[in-house]
Amino acid sequence: MPPRIEPARPPFSTDVQTWLDRTMPPGVPPLTLFTTLARDPRLFQRFMASTLLDRGNLTLRQRELVIDRVTARCGSEYEWGVHVAVFGARVGLSPAELASLVHGGPDDPCWNPGERVLLALCDQLHDGCDVSDASWADARAHLSEEALLEVLLLAGCYRTVSYLTNALRLPPEPFAPRFAAAGA
């Protein structure tokens, strides 16, 4: 299926090119999501400025678990694949964990207690846009208040990213794994 909105083509505006140069590794073409948003430099800059991919209150692994679970639950194979390709090995995601993120749940045996709590938060947010008092109390045993705020923002941000990638019908990046590669 072709994308619903064609990505912008170079040359990009100076501001957009500066963001792309900072974001993408040398020699790697910009992601289709980025070039599609670059059609409107204002939207592109607002989107890029809202990122939570910096060093924050979550570990890199915690951050990626949230992103991968949210994008998997939202059916955003595009964004899930990008994150798994770029960060999966860095955070030590095993084949069983990748399969669980797409096809399983927080109670799967591959997760430690803190990761189960994190994934349960993602699932509750996805299912009802809220978190039960019991789950919140469980999360407080593993995460600081600042980390919990970051989880909420991160989950919401990647739900928005999933809306974009799904509604725009973005094709998977050539380097990104597919949901089927995660097994079942």
Its CATH architecture, for the domain 60-182, is Up-down Bundle (1.20)
- Report the C-alpha gap between 65 and 92 in whole angstroms: 11
What is the tens place of the pLDDT at every residue in 159-172? 999 999 999 999 99
What amino acid occupies position 105? G
What is the tens place of the pLDDT at every residue in 25-34? 899 999 999 9
Mean pLDDT of the 103-126 span: 98
- Report the C-alpha gap between 40 and 21 in whole angstroms: 17
Structure confidence at residue 70 (pLDDT): 98
**Which of 131, 115, 101 is closest to 58 using CA atoms?**
115
Q: Which tokens hold the place of 11?
A: 């040359």
Q: Taking the domains of the chain in order of start, what are their residue ranges?
A: 14-23+31-49, 60-182
